[in-house]
Amino acid sequence: MLLISFSISTYAQNFDIQTLREINVERNRSLDPTFKAITNSASPISIAAPLIIYSIGTINKDADLKKKGIFIGETFLVNAFITTALKYSIKRDRPSVTYTDIEKMSSGGSGSFPSGHTSESFATATSLSLAFPKWYVIAPSFLWASAVGYSRMDLGVHYPTDVAAGAIVGAGSAYLSYKLNKWINKKKNKPILFDGKKE
């Protein structure tokens, strides 16, 4: 049983680094500035989204829009807590620490697992999609989040499994926040509104 577990672990690590090498080592270097811009957009967009939505709700005296802004902001905080806790619990080294052929092109200080930029962007994309369930919100949100995740591998700061875990943590944080909001508002007999429909 121990041998099987070791074999699976070795296979997973080999797959991880081989995939990363294909993305990072063999990358189109002319796209480095583009991927740096994408990776650097994660925090500004994730912070700006709830602030802008809440501000518009305040200006227009739209209580529903304000609730959506708060929900997206709560998702950001829940995701930050879970991601940070996992990073400091697992303490996985960055790829460039273990493999010298991986070129690190972006900052990354704490543990590698999960990817914080990816979890942040997927938390924002998922919460936006839950708050505004329209294709023209969902499609660009997840396209952007996926681009952020890919950029972290292209820039050599995360393994594919870091990115996959980040996407799961981010989306899960949004869903958890959504369910908590639904439960709290139900307890208060003040159902949260999403596109005019009571949840």
Look at residue 127 and tell me if it is in a domain.
yes
Query: How many CA atoms are closer than 13 Å to the CA of 41, on its beta-carbon side?
Result: 19
- Residue 198's DSSP bridge partners are 193
Query: How high is the pLDDT of residue 94?
Result: 92
Look at residue 19 and tell me if it is in a domain.
no
Q: How many domains does the chain have?
A: 1
Look at residue 33 and tell me if it is in a domain.
no
3-state SS track over 76-118 = HHHHHHHHHHHHHHHCCCCHHHHCCCCCCCCCCCCCCCCCHHH
Look at residue 76 and tell me if it is in a domain.
yes
Do 46 and 87 form a contact (C-beta atoms < 8 A)? no
Look at residue 2 and tell me if it is in a domain.
no
Look at residue 84 and tell me if it is in a domain.
yes
Query: Which residue, among 135, 137, 162, 138, has the nearest Cα to 150 in the 3D structure?
Result: 162
Query: How high is the pLDDT of residue 143?
Result: 98
Q: Considering the entire predicted model, what is its pTM?
A: 0.87
Q: Could you read off the pLDDT tens digit of each residue along the chain, which spans 199 residues?
A: 544 444 555 666 788 999 999 999 889 888 999 999 999 999 999 999 999 999 999 999 999 999 999 999 999 999 999 999 999 999 999 998 888 899 988 877 788 999 999 999 999 999 999 999 999 999 999 999 999 999 999 999 999 999 999 999 999 999 999 998 888 777 666 555 555 555 5
Look at residue 181 and tell me if it is in a domain.
yes
Look at residue 12 and tell me if it is in a domain.
no
Query: How high is the pLDDT of residue 119?
Result: 97
Q: Provide the residue range defining the domain that includes 126.
A: 41-95+105-198
* Placement of tokens 């806790």 in the chain: 85
